[in-house]
Amino acid sequence: MRLKRPSLLVTFGVMSLIPILVLGFVLTRALEDVTRRRNVERVVEDTRFITNISIAAILSQGKASAGGLSPAETIAMNDLFSRGGSDVLALRVFGPLGISLYSTTGTRSAPSDLTRAALAGREGYVVEKLGGVTALTVAVPFSLAPGLPPGAVEMSLKYDVITATSAKDARKLQLILAGGLLLLYLVLIPVVAQASRRLRRQSEENAYLARHDRLTGLGNRLLFENVLERSLTGAGGHGVTALMLLDVDHLKETNDTFGHPAGDVLLKAVAERVESAARQGDTVARIGGDELGILLARTRGASDLAEIAERVLASVSRPLDLGSGRTIVPSVSLGVAWAPTHGTTPAELLRSADTALYRAKREERGRFRFAGVAAA
């Protein structure tokens, strides 16, 4: 069984959904990175603020320069550390020249590379392991007094708190992003649906016009010859055994006398009358300027064909009003051929029917002739 080809709308819906999902995934990861960096930068800013406002105010210039803190300063630092809660893992303060002034870890170790950079005036941060816990360690410089070398504050916080906050912020942005992409998708679908319908109608119209005549609405020569060929080879299932070629008599005179619009009226009327006289299953087509064709299925021989030809002639030869009070009686000349007597190929049958048509026009218009027979 042949699978039905999906419509343009379905194809677009599937194909556009893939890049939108990929775009959404990429933007989601980008948003996560952006929010994580933003929250880290916020921690750095908070550390800088605490250092400049709280820690620098606690420290005594003289004591810090000498490498020690007074008991009151130590108590104030402990209180400041405790207010940070469980999220703050460690706090270390270094005076000028890297002198350790305060440490919550209980040991006054030498400054790390991060802290040495802060002592040189460059703040920074690093993600590291502290006692089995992932921490964000931030180091910022501070000044005890003008003219003195900078000190540094090193603060370590639980990194999972920062990532959780980042994830929460990212989810909000992701919902906004998802809503925007969904809205875009929903806006595009009707636009593409309309374009798909228009293209489908245009495609159907083009396909129809490629095989049909604009004026009469009948099939054209291409359709006529295709059906004839399939019928003769048994591929089409039409069982065509005969064909008739019809020529509209005096069409040129009608055009010359009454104008081409009147000629078009004549052609359309003849086409309608021929089609109404044909049997169900027969194919009627306009195969030339003033020439029509009928492909006949399952005829019973010459007598059957003669009966059909007479019916066509009678149907056509009724008075026709061309407009403006002008009335004519149309007529057609008709040539008949059938397989295999007059040919086994489309070209042979068409040639035989055309020869019979020519003889009908030459002998007496408005009549039919069989191929190979002088009179009917």
CATH of the domain at 133: 3.30.450.20
CB atoms within 10 A of CB 233: 10
User: Is 134 found in the same domain as 62?
Assistant: yes
Alpha carbon distance 150, 182 (integer Å) = 53
Highest averaged pLDDT of the listed ranges 18-22, 228-232, 273-277, 302-306: 273-277
Alpha carbon distance 59, 141 (integer Å) = 14
pLDDT tens by residue, 128-176: 888 888 888 999 998 877 777 788 899 888 888 777 776 666 677 667 7
User: Is 132 found in the same domain as 34?
Assistant: yes
pTM for the whole structure: 0.53
Alpha carbon distance 271, 316 (integer Å) = 9
Question: What is the DSSP secondary structure assignment for residue 2, as one 8-state letter?
Answer: P
User: Is 238 found in the same domain as 160?
Assistant: no
Question: What is the DSSP secondary structure assignment for residue 124, as one 8-state letter?
Answer: E
Question: What is the DSSP secondary structure assignment for residue 229, as one 8-state letter?
Answer: H
Bond before 190 cis per omega within 30 degrees:
no
Q: Is residue 208 part of a domain?
A: no
User: Is 247 found in the same domain as 119?
Assistant: no
Q: Is residue 201 part of a domain?
A: no
Q: Is residue 31 part of a domain?
A: yes
Domain that holds residue 19: 8-165
pLDDT tens by residue, 12-42: 666 666 776 676 667 677 767 777 788 888 8
Structure tokens belonging to residue 50 = 């605490």
What is the chain's percent helix, strand, coil content, to nearest 5? 55, 20, 25
Question: How many separate domains does the chain show?
Answer: 2
Domain boundary among the residues 165, 183, 203 is at 165
User: Is 150 found in the same domain as 64?
Assistant: yes
User: Is 255 found in the same domain as 348?
Assistant: yes
Supply the mean pLDDT for the chain: 82
- Are 337 and 356 in contact, with CB atoms under 8 Å apart? yes
Q: Is residue 112 part of a domain?
A: yes
